[in-house]
Chains A and B, each alone.
Chain A
Amino acid sequence: MSTSTTGDVLVDYDEVLAAYDPAMGLEVHVELNTATKMFCGCPTEFGAEPNTQVCPTCLGLPGAMPVVNAKAVESAIRIGLALNCDIAEWCRFARKNYFYPDMPKNFQTSQYDEPIAFEGWMDVLVPTADGGTETVRVEIERAHMEEDTGKSLHVGGSTGRIHGADYSLVDYNRAGIPLIEIVTKPITGLGAQAPEVAKAYVAQLRELIVALGVSDARMDQGSIRADVNLSLAPKGSGALGTRTETKNVNSLRSVERAVRYEMQRHAAVLGEGRSILQETRHWHEDTGVTTSGREKSDAEDYRYFPEPDLVPVAPSREWVEQLRGTMPENPRARLARLQESWGFTDLEMRDTVGAGALGLVEETIAAGAAPQSARKWWLGEMARRANDSGVEIGALGVTPQHVARVQAMVDAGELTDKLARQVFDGLLAGEGTPEEVVAARGLAVVSDEGALSAAVDKAIAENPAIADKIRDGKVAAAGALIGAVMKEMRGQADAARVKELVLEKLS
C-alpha cells in the first residue's frame, strides 16, 4: 500500500494481480496531416497565430455547412486497412451533441453506429521476462472519422488549469482538424503485462501511422492522443468491472504508467469495499497521477443522429482495393527484415521497439550510420536524455540526420565519444547543426601532431616514475600518462593516437 500525491491509496502492484484480472480498452485519436480540415478548406498547421486558420464552417457560424475532405476519407480507409479492418460499403457521419465552449457548434461531427472501418486487429510484440518477445493480438473494434475541438487557455487562478480559472480564452485553429479515433475491443487475460501491452500497442500503432504517412504522429504536440479505459474484475471471475476512462495520456511512457496507476487505485477502492465510479479521469504527466473528471451518468446522453448536412460515404471496392495496394509492409515482416539487415539480437531489437526508436534508428542508418552506432546513440544517450526531460525520444529535437552526422565525425576521428556527447548538448540547446555546434563550442579533436607530441613530452617529463615503468614493459601504466595528456588537451585529443605516441616515445 502507498498513497499518491493526490491522496489516492494505491495497492502494491503484485497484490493487485493476486486479487484481480485487469481489462483495458484503448482509444487512440490520430490527428491526420491533411493540408486542410475535415469539413472546410482551412489549413491545419500547428502553432499558427490564434484564430487565423478559421472560416465560417469551423467556427460554427450560423448558416455555414461542412464538406468532407476526400483525403481524410482516404487516410481513414488506409488506417482501417492497415489495422486489418473491414471497410464499410456505406457509412455516415453523425452529430454527437454536447455543450462545450471549445466546440463551435456544440455538437461534434463524428461517426456513431456506422464507422468507416471495423472489426480489425493488430499483433503487438511484447517483451517477455526471459528477454524474448511474444505476440499479443489486440482486437480493433472500429476506426472512425471525426473532427477536433478548439483549444482553451485558462486564465487566472493559481494553477493555470481549468479549475479555479477566472475565465478562458479560446482559439479555434484546431477546431475541425480531421481525427481518426481507433478503438480496441476490451483487452483481457494479460495480468501483469497489461501496462506493457498498452504501451507497446500505442507505440506500434504510432509506428504504423508513421509508415502510412497519414499523421505527424507527434504525441508531444497532441497529434496522437490516447485514452485508457481500465477495469478490474475479481480474479478468475471472467466478469468485466466498472471502468474509468483516463483522457489525454500523451506519451508512451505515460500510457504504461496510467494503466498501472489505475490498476493500483482501483484495487484500493475495491479493497475497501467501495465501488468504482464510472467517470472520466485526467492524467497528470508531471505528477504521474490521475484525478477525477466528469461523472458520466448524466452528461452521457449525446443524442446522436445522422448529420443531415452531409451525404453518406460509400467507398467503392475499386477504391478500397487500390488503397490496399498502398499499404506499408506488415509490421512483423518489417521487424524481421530490419533485424536481419541490422544484425541486432532479439534483445537489442526488443529494446529498440520498446524505446519507440525503431523508426529513428532506421532513419539514422539510412543517413549513413552503422546499425550498432545508431542503436547505441538512440537507446543510450538519447533515451537517457528523453527520460530526464520527460519527453518522447522523437521529440528531443535531435534528428536521425544529426545522429548520423555526429557518428560520421566520430568515425573520422574528428570527435571522441565524449566530445560527441557535448555536441548533443548543443543540439538539444538548439545551437544549430552538428557542424555549427562543433565550431561554436570549439569541440574538434586536436589533430595537430606537433601540439600532441609536445603534450606527450611534457607528461613524460612530469611523470618520470610512470615513464620508467612503461619503458620496463608495463604498458598498462600508459593510462595515467594518457590521462595527463588528455587533461592538458582539455579532452580534445584522440586517446588512441595519444597512446600510440606515448608507446612510441618510450619504447
Chain B
Amino acid sequence: MSADLTRRTAADLAADLAAGTTTSVALTQAHLDRIAAVDGGPDAGVHAFLHVDAEGALAAAAASDERRAAGSPASALDGVPIAVKDVLATRGLPTTCGSKILEGWVPPYDATVVARLRAAGLPILGKTNMDEFAMGSSTEHSAYGPTRNPWDLERIPGGSGGGSAAALAAFETPLALGTDTGGSIRQPGAVTGTVGVKPTYGGVSRYGLVAMANSLDQVGPVTRTVLDSALLHELVGGHDPLDSTSVDQPLPSLVDAARRGAEGDLSGVRVGVITELSGEGYQAGVQARFEESLELLVKAGAEVVEVSCPTFVHALATYYLIMPCEASSNLAKFDAMRYGLRVLPEGVDSPSAEQVMRATRDAGFGDEVKRRIILGTYALSSGYYDAYYGTAQRVRTLIARDFAAAFEKVDVLVSPTAPTTAFKLGEKLDDPLAMYLNDLATIPANLAGVPGMSLPSGLADEDGLPAGFQILAPALADDRMYRVGAALEAALHERWGGPLLDRAPALAAQAGPTDANGASA
C-alpha cells in the first residue's frame, strides 16, 4: 500500500481520504518512509530535503484524521502532505535558504502561504533544498550540498528549487511549494519531468518568502499534474493584507479551468509560439518535443500562430541587472547581529561589530551570492543607478509591452521551458554566464509579472531526459494556462500511456534517514 500511496497524485489522495480508503497518518508515513529510503544526503541519494519533520508531519496528520472522522475536513487537501522550499519561513522549523549564514535559524513566524497550508490541514513533511537564497539554476549552490535529479543522479535537478521538483519526481511528496524569480519553479519542473507554476505577480502572498528580488519573486505550486497545481495554487493564493503587492481581486477558478482543459477541447483557443524563444540555442530533442506538443494542441482544436516579442532577447540582461540590485539590498540584513551565523574574524582581539559583519558575510555567503551582491552594489552605487537599474526598469516596460501586444493576438504564449535537458553536476558551476542561459525562456514572465507554467513534453531523444513545455498567460488570467496545460497533459498521457514519470528509473535505497541538514545519520 505504501508504495502505491506515494505514486498517487494529490487529487487522488484527497479523494482517497474523502472516501475513507486511507488516512492522513498512513499516507504521511508512506512519504516519510519513501524519503528515508531514497533521499540520502549531501553525498548520495536525491538529497531533496534539508530538514525532515516527521514528528510535526505525523502530528498534523493525526489532527487531520480526527477532523475527517468528525466530518469537518479543513479543506479539499486536508491531510495530503506537502514539502516546502527552504526559502519560506516556517514557525518552529529551521529555515536556511540553503545558506550557511542562516544555519540553525528557526523563524518565530509562518509565511502566509505556510499559515494557509497549516490552516488547510496539510502536514508539512519538511524543507526542500535550493540554491543559496534561490540564486542558481542547478541547486548546486546550496551550502548543504546539491540535490540530484531522480532521472539520473549524476545530473542537476534544475534550480533554484531543485529540491522541491526532485522530491516530486522521486515520489517523496505529492505536493511542494516553490518560488520563482527567473524560472526557479519552471526550469526544475522541466528537467525533472514535473509540473510547476509561477502565478501572476501578486497572485500569491510573498509575506514570509525570504526575498531575492522582490519585484520578481512569486510563490507557486510544484506537483506532478496540472490539476494538482491548480488545487494547491487556489489553496495558497489570494489577497494577503501583509503583502502590499498582493492583488486584491478574485481570480477565475483554476481547478475548474484544469478540469475543463482535461476534457481535451481547445477549440477557439489561440496559441502563440514566441519566435525569440525557440530554435537556435535550444537542444534538438527539447525542440522536437516542443513541436510535437504544438501538434497535439492543434489536434485539440487550438489555433497555433507564431508571435514575435523582439525585446525578449534583452530579458536576460535586464534580469541580471534588476535582480542583483534588489538582492544586494535584501541580503544586507544578514549581518550576524540579530539571528543566524556570527563569525569572529581570526586574529582580531575584541573585534568591532563591523569586523564581525564582514567576517560573517564572507564565511556565510557562497560564491554566487557574493557575485550578485557585488554586482548589485556596483549597479546601484552613485553614478551608475540610471545607467543600470534605471535602464533595466525601462527595458522591462518594453518587455511588458511586447507581452501586451502578443496577448492582443493570442490567448496564451508558449515556448520550451528550458533550452536543454538536465546537465551534469559541476558542468557549468564555474561559468556563471552559461548557467544564467538556462533561464532564457522563463525570465520574461517574471519581468512582466505574467503567469507561467511548465509541464513535461516528453524525453529528448539524444539523452532520454525530460523536456519542458512552457505556457504563459496574461496577468490575472492564470486560468488560461491551466486549461491549455491540462489539455496538453491529457493528450500527452494518452500518447505515452500514462505519466512521463512512470518511465523514470527506480531509485536505489539509501543508507539511512536524513537529519536536519540532510546529512546521512
Contacts and interface: CB of A to CB of B under 8 A. Distances in A.
Interface in A260-312: 300-301, 303-305, 308-311
A68 B89 CA distance: 22
A61 B109 contact: yes
A95 interface: yes
Contacts of A59: 338
Nearest to B353: A101
B380 A63 contact: no
Interface in A327-371: none
Quick one: which of B102, B109, B215, B241 has the most chain A CB within 10 A?
Answer: B109
A188 interface: no
A244 B239 CA distance: 48
A304 B211 contact: no
A63 B209 contact: yes
Nearest to B213: A308
Interface in B200-228: 206-211, 213-215
Interface in A62-76: 62-68
Contact of A305 (B102, B206, B332, B385): B385
Interface stretch (B189-197, B242-250, B401-409, B502-510): B242-250
A275 B196 CA distance: 63
B335 interface: yes
Given A63-B89, A67-B241, A305 B329 contact: yes
Interface string B411-430: 00000000000000000000
A107 B210 CA distance: 16
Contact of A64 (B208, B245, B332, B350): B208
B211 A97 contact: no
A262 B232 CA distance: 64
B108 A61 contact: yes
B326 A308 contact: yes
Contact of B244 (A60, A68, A99): A68
A304 B385 contact: yes
A304 B350 CA distance: 33
B325 interface: yes
Nearest to A152: B353
B332 A62 contact: no
B89 A62 contact: yes
A311 B245 contact: yes
A315 interface: no
B117 interface: no
A304 B385 CA distance: 8
Nearest to B325: A305
B241 A61 contact: no
A170 interface: yes
Interface string B47-91: 000000000000000000000000000000000000000001100
Prevailing SS type, chain A contact patch = loop
B329 A62 contact: no
Given A56-B109, A65-B244, A99 B338 contact: no
A99 to B, nearest CB: 6
Interface string A49-87: 000000010011111111110000000000000000000
Given A61-B339, A104-B338, A305-B385, A97 B332 contact: yes
B134 to A, nearest CB: 12
Contacts of B89: 56, 61-63
B471 interface: no
Contact of B357 (A63, A99, A104, A301): A99
Nearest to B332: A106
A61 B107 contact: yes
Contact of A105 (B214, B245, B333): B333
Interface in B295-333: 325-326, 328-329, 332-333
Contacts of A67: 241-244
B58 to A, nearest CB: 26
Interface residues of B, number: 45
A311 B105 CA distance: 30
B108 A56 contact: yes
A12 interface: no
Quick one: which of B89, B102, B337, B350 has the most chain A CB within 10 A?
Answer: B337
Interface string B237-265: 00001111100000000000000000000
Contacts of B357: 99
Nearest to B202: A311
A168 interface: yes
B338 A63 contact: no
A107 B105 CA distance: 21
A275 to B, nearest CB: 23
A220 interface: no
B494 interface: no
B236 interface: no
Contacts of B29: none
A311 B353 CA distance: 33
A245 B332 CA distance: 26
A301 B111 contact: no
B244 A106 contact: no
A101 B332 contact: no
B214 A309 contact: yes
Contacts of A303: 328-329, 377, 380-382, 385
Contacts of B208: 63-64
B4 interface: no
Interface string B349-370: 0100110010000000000000
A96 to B, nearest CB: 10
8 shortest interchain CB distances as A-B pairs: A106-B332, A303-B380, A308-B214, A308-B215, A62-B210, A63-B208, A63-B89, A63-B210
20 contacts: A56-B107, A60-B333, A61-B108, A62-B97, A63-B111, A63-B210, A63-B211, A68-B244, A97-B328, A97-B380, A99-B335, A99-B354, A101-B353, A107-B332, A170-B337, A303-B329, A308-B215, A309-B244, A310-B245, A311-B244
Given A107-B332, A303-B329, 10 more contacts: A61-B108, A61-B338, A62-B210, A63-B211, A66-B244, A101-B353, A106-B333, A303-B380, A304-B380, A309-B214
